[in-house]
Copies of this chain bind each other. A is one copy, B any other.
Amino acid sequence: MAAAVRVAPSAATRALKLLRTVQYTHPPSCPCHSNPGHHHHHAARPQIDAYAQRTWQTGRRGFASPMDPSQQKEYAFEMAASSIRFGPGVTQEVGMDFKNMGVKRVCVVTDPTVRQLTAMKQVEEALSREGVEYDIFDKVRVEPKDSSIKEAIEFAKPYKPDAFLAVGGGSVIDTAKLMNLYTEYPDADFLDFVNAPLGNGRPIDKQLKPLIAIPTTAGTGSETTGTAIFDLVAKRAKTGIAHRNLKPTLGICDPLNTRTMPAAVKASSGLDVLCHALESWTAIPFNERTPRPTNPIMRPAYQGANPISDIFSLSALRSTVKYLPRSVKDPEDFEAQSEMLLAATLAGVGFGNAGVHLCHGMSYPISGQNPGYQHAGYEVSTPIIPHGVSVAVSAPAVFRFTGPSNPERHLAAAEAFGVDVTNVKREDAGEALADAVTAFLAELGDQPKGLKELGFGHDHIDALVEGTIPQARVLMLAPGLAAELERERDQLRRLFEDAMVH
Q: Is A417 an interface residue (CB 8 A)?
A: no
Question: Is A70 in contact with chain B by the CB < 8 A criterion?
Answer: no
Task: Report A346-383 residues with CB < 8 Å from chain B CB.
Answer: 346
Pairwise interchain contact A96-B129, C-beta atoms closer than 8 A: no
Q: What residues of chain B lie closer than 8 Å to A44, measured between beta carbons?
A: none
Say whether, besides A2-B125, A5-B118, A92 and B63 are in contact (CB < 8 Å).
Answer: yes
Q: Is A190 an interface residue (CB 8 A)?
A: no
Q: Which residue of B lies closest to A293 (CB)?
A: B93
The interface residues of chain B lying within 8 Å CB-to-CB of A342 are: 307-308
Closest B residue by C-beta to A19? B88
A84 at the binding interface (Cβ < 8 Å)? yes
What is the chain B residue whose CB lies nearest that of A18?
A: B334
Contacts of A469 in B (CB 8 A): none
* Given A78-B85, A84-B78, A311-B311; A92-B1 close (CB under 8 Å): yes
Query: Quick one: CB contact mask for A72-116 with B, threshold 8 Å, 1 for yes?
Result: 000111111101111111101100110011000000000000000
Minimum CB–CB distance for A346 against chain B, Å: 7
- A425 proximal to B (CB < 8 A): no
| Interface pair B61/A76, CB less than 8 Å apart | no
Q: Is the CB of A89 within 8 A of B75?
A: yes
Chain B residues closer than 8 Å to A93, beta-carbon distance: 63, 76, 295-296
Contact status B81-A76, CB under 8 Å: no
CA distance A93 to B69 in the complex (A): 14
A6 nearest in chain B by CB position: B118
Contact across chains for B77 and A5 when beta carbons are under 8 A apart:
no
Give the residues in chain B near A64, CB-CB below 8 Å: 129
Q: Which 7 A-B pairs have the closest CB atoms?
A: A76-B87, A6-B118, A80-B83, A21-B335, A62-B92, A78-B85, A18-B334
Interface residue ranges, A against B (CB under 8 Å): 1-2, 5-7, 14, 17-19, 21-23, 25, 61-64, 75-81, 83-90, 92-93, 96-97, 100-101, 118, 121-122, 125-126, 129, 205, 207, 244, 255-256, 259, 295-297, 306-308, 311-312, 315, 332-335, 338-339, 342, 346
